[in-house]
Structure 1
């Protein structure tokens, strides 16, 4: 019981402290999609991923060819020759699996490239959020696009457009591009 009272007291103190603080939120996904550099990053990443996928597909095709050749020559091969070819196929499969893991696995080259390309853009956006927060006296800024669940947000507290403005992104260009795409 005493423990529950302490928790309630703590929550009340936290709530009263929060009332004195100005809180806002941004939607980093919205901001990213408005930023012209994001499209460039996405295209470069897509191009690199396509090259990696093509290489992975080439490895898979080579394995299929090896299996087909083995199947066609199976009756002509000695047991040792068959085992050698199967071992070669297994080695090729292992190499293909290692390639996929190295490129597309956790902390693989794809994610490293994504991080490398996104880091400067994320830094620009974070700096703009920092400036907007300081200029508007925001004590706590949430990101609506993050894993944080926001059940309701009053648009009055949305500072995303201020961040876009801080980044110098001309939204009229964005709407012209959208019209041209249609």
Structure 2
């Protein structure tokens, strides 16, 4: 009898508590960033650093190439000790160039660190805007359409990109998808 009463009470409680669906949405951060002047400025700075470091590396290899041509031109006139010394110098220069290349463009190198530093401010702006929109719209989850997380289908009514753009003070009118979230539009022509 106690088991039956327990299940009846449990069933009544389950029916009396309204089911609460979790609300979610998504944002196309790639589109948002493309419209942000701060992001564009950061990309320009990154390009400047990349160009400078690439030129530095290229200059190192040009110097090595000059040493190799000079060595080849004078090789028959050099003693064995002189040849070994020149080869050692060229090898050392090549090693320095490779190490510099790795230090700049390698895993978590200078370029990675510079990108992280320069992208921090735009990322924080977007994250704050996403958080504010999520709280305002009472969303439980917000996904990034531009991330590695694969979204095979997205219903435009869950697209909150325009709200984030509005929060950032950006114009989202040129986006190739519907301009505003249709879920929040008033129905003007009911059938």
Q: For 1:117-156, list aligned pairs within 5 A.
A: 117-156=118-157
Q: In the aligned structure 1, how far is the partner of 2:70 from the partner of 2:115? A: 39
Residue 86 to residue 19, structure 1, CA distance change in 2 (3 Å): farther
Shift of the alpha carbon at 1:170? 3.4
The Cα shift of 1:159 comes to 0.6
Shift of 1:112: 0.4
Q: Which structure 1 segments of 5+ residues have no match?
A: 1-17, 176-182
> Does the CA-based 8 Å contact 2:39-2:122 persist in structure 1?
yes
Is 1:93 aligned to residue 94 of structure 2?
yes
Name the larger-Rg structure. 2
Higher relative contact order (CA 8 A, sep 6+): 1
Supply the distance in 2 between the matched residues of 1:102 and 1:136 (Cα, whole angstroms): 45
**Once superposed, which parts of structure 1, at least 4 consecutive aligned residues long, lie more than 3 Å away?**
none
RMSD: 1.6
The Cα offsets for residues 119-173 of structure 1, whole Å up to 9 and x where unpaired, read as: 111011000000000000110111111110100000110111110100111347x
| TM-score, normalised by the number of residues in structure 1 | 0.83
CA shift in 2, pair 1:82/1:132, >3 Å: same
- Unaligned stretches of 5+ in structure 2? 1-18, 176-191
Separation in 2, partners of 1:59, 1:83: 21
State the shift of 1:19 in Å.
Answer: 6.9
For 1:69 and 1:160, how far apart are their aligned partners in 2? 60
Q: Contact 2:53 / 2:104 at 8 angstroms: preserved in 1?
A: yes
Question: TM-score normalised to the size of structure 2?
Answer: 0.79
Q: Which has the higher helix share?
A: 1
Contact 2:162 2:172 in 1 (8 A): no
